Structure 1
Amino acid sequence: MKNIIYSYATVFLLLITSCGNKNNETSSEGEQTETSAIVVTQDQFTSNGLLLGGLEERNFPDVVETSGMIDVPPENRASVMAFMGGFVKKTPLLIGDKVKKGQLLVTLENQEFVQMQQEYLQVYNQLDFLKAEFERNKTLYDEKIASQKNFLQAKSNYETAKAKYQGLREQLQMLNISPSQVEKGAISSLASIYAPISGSVTKVNVSMGSYVSPASQILEIANNEHVHLELTVFEKDILKVKKGQKIQFTIPEASNETYMAEVHLVGASIDDAKRTIKVHGHLENEDDTGFLPGMFVNAMIMTDTKNGLSLPDEAVIESEGSSYVLKLVSQNAEGYTFEKVHVDQGNSYGGFTEISSEDLKQDDQFLLKGVFDLIGG
């Protein structure tokens, strides 16, 4: 009898527990239904500057992400070197100084310059005599008076001296030493080096009294009036890149601003080690940008475009690895009711993000501003 009573009691307790679980499940489902809807009063909507809006159809570019640097064309960069070694006698410039083409950069001193001028002057003074001797022997040889040997010797002496004269003259001009002044007897141990282009000094590798060899770079000059992008694109993307495509780029270390450029040249060979190719881009509105050669850039090359439905970036929130928007469910005098809807996020461009979802319609309204404050990120 007691066992029967215990059995009835056990069944009764199980029924109570089961009912309690069902009630809890129902209660939990109700809470979830309530929390999926977000209610905002009219006062909250106005005071927080919230904003409603619909989907917009926009063009979104397919992009190739790359990086590179600001550079200048080869003709706008010059390495200043000496044609002959010497000791630095004068160097008034510092990094950042602006120079004009033809401006004095460095003065070198070397006794070899003196020796070269002496040899030039010696040959110069001999030329008239050797020329006259050659012409005299030629006349005598033509008249069968002088021997061919004497004529050829005179010719050889004159031609050798003339070649040496011309060679020394060229070397003096390369050292910016005036041959005409040497011919007047003005010999100097100094040689001057002048700026080959206008621009700014970017490197100074010498100091007063230091010795400069012919292979040493003394200065570097860069003209920043025309700068360009030198980008590195991986082999897998190179067939997408064509001349004339737009480039959007930033300089992350210097500015948050976005700049525009255009593909001007695509390299003709691939780097075997890195499997990359160089892409040359021309900047739009490069005046007054203040860009300097060597600045690092992040860039996107826009290779194609496609249409898509979009919302402003601020309306799409990423949370726990997924993207969400707040869709307007109802609106009355008391306020607004929104539903948190999961969406698939596509490309972002120009402040708008491409979205797609089976739960969205073209005429739906969404919260465009203040989404993060309501659902967080």
Structure 2
Amino acid sequence: MKQRIVLPLLFSVLAACSGSGNRAEKETAVTTDTVLTTLADPDTIKTDAVTSATSKPNEVLFNGTMIVPPDCQATVTVLMGGTVKNSSLLSGTVVRKGQVLVILENPAFIDLQQSYLDSRAQLEYLEAEYRRQQTLAKEQAASQKKLQQSKADYLSMKSKEQAAAAQLQLLGIDPIRIEESGIRPYLEVKSPIDGYVGNVRINPGKHIAAGEPVCDVINKERTLLRLVAYEKDLAYIQKGAVVEFTVNGIGNQVFRGTLISVGQQVDEISRSLEIYARVDTVEEIFRPGMYVTARILH
């Protein structure tokens, strides 16, 4: 009789222990599944509907592009048209300020130089004649009419000489050099700044009209970030703050910059504004137009 009582009791204890262990395993599994679901759930990561930027709690990311300020980008144009005689420009070529980019042929350029030299020569004669008439008028040996006529001729020629000289200076030609070395047959178009050539629009034999662009020259020494921010992010934005950013196509390498400007007008539709940061160290691989993702350190 004692053995019959002990065996059922032993089976009951073992069953209770097994049930308790299963409940513990189920509770652990549920807890683990909940954590994994929370980390993987895309609803827990906020995504910007306009820029597709993502942000973690207490961190705001800003998307944008690399640019250069206006004074570091020049569009090279010609004030006098002509036919391209010689040019070996390629996009990406390094040029210096004052370096010849293209040589143009135009008979009107020769005529302008001749007009200046003729005006200069006649001006010397008319000035001497005017001085002589002034002396004669003081001695009452000449009429006032001759004096006035000589003065008018002198001033008229002086204005022509000054106009021709001003046009030559606009074309980058020193009038004094023409007097010393003579008429130049070709017009040289020079680079206005140091930088890299881009958007080349010419080739030998092509006619370039006055005001038509030849190429662009870009100086990357002062590369900036133009980032898109939103009014809800203004609390995280402060001029002078340190900016860390990554560049699309350069992996996960982190670069630094400094926030230098915050836009003062919010777009009525997107509720966005532009902010600008100066890149602390400009890398050779950087190019204007590259996409970047940045965050502001606090």
**Is the 8 Å Cα contact of residues 223 and 282 (structure 2) preserved in structure 1?**
no
What is the DSSP-based 3-state SS (H/G/I as helix, E as strand, rest coil) of the residue aligned with 2:214?
Answer: strand
Give the deviation of 1:238 after TM superposition: 3.6
Give the structure-2-normalised TM-score: 0.75
Gaps of 5+ in 1: 1-22, 39-59, 305-377
Given that 2:220 and 2:282 are in contact with CA atoms closer than 8 Å, whether structure 1 keeps it comes out as no
Residues 243, 295 of structure 2: 8 Å contact kept: yes
Q: Tell me, yes or no, if structure 1 residue 130 matches structure 2 residue 150.
A: no
Contact 1:176-1:191 at 8 Å conserved across structures: no
Partner secondary structure for residue 37 of structure 1: helix
Counting only pairs closer than 5 Å after superposition, residues 1-377 of structure 1 correspond to structure 2 as 31-37=22-28, 62-183=58-179, 186-238=182-234, 240-270=236-266, 275-284=271-280, 286-288=281-283, 290-302=285-297, 304=298
Q: What is the root-mean-square deviation of aligned Cα atoms in Å? A: 2.8
Deviation at 1:142, TM superposition (A): 3.4
Residue aligned with 2:286, SS:
coil
Contact 1:95/1:201, CA 8 A, preserved across alignment? yes
Structure with higher strand content: 1
For 1:235 and 1:144, the matched residues in 2 are separated by 83
> C-alpha distance in 2, partners of 1:163/1:146?
26
3-state DSSP class of the match of 1:102?
A: coil
Residues 20-64 of structure 1 deviation map (CA, whole Å, 9 limit, x = unaligned): xxx9xx96x9645313337xxxxxxxxxxxxxxxxxxxxx99444
Q: Deviations over 1:173-223 (max 9, x none)?
A: 332344345335732331001222222112211111111122211111112
Q: Distance in 1 between matches of 2:60 and 2:155?
A: 65
TM-score (norm 1): 0.61
Distance 1:214 1:236 in 2: 48
> For residue 169 of structure 1, what is the amino acid of its counterpart?
A
Give the Cα–Cα distance (whole angstroms) in 2 for the partners of residues 290 and 173 of structure 1: 38
User: 1:108/1:149 Cα in 2 relative to 1: closer, same or farther (>3 Å)?
Assistant: same
| Contact 1:78–1:196 (Cα < 8 Å) also in 2 | yes
Structure with greater proportional helix content: 2
Which amino acid is the alignment partner of residue 84 of structure 1?
M
C-alpha distance in 1 between matches for 2:131 and 2:290 = 66
- Unaligned 5+ runs, structure 2: 1-14, 30-55
Offset of residue 258 of structure 1: 2.6
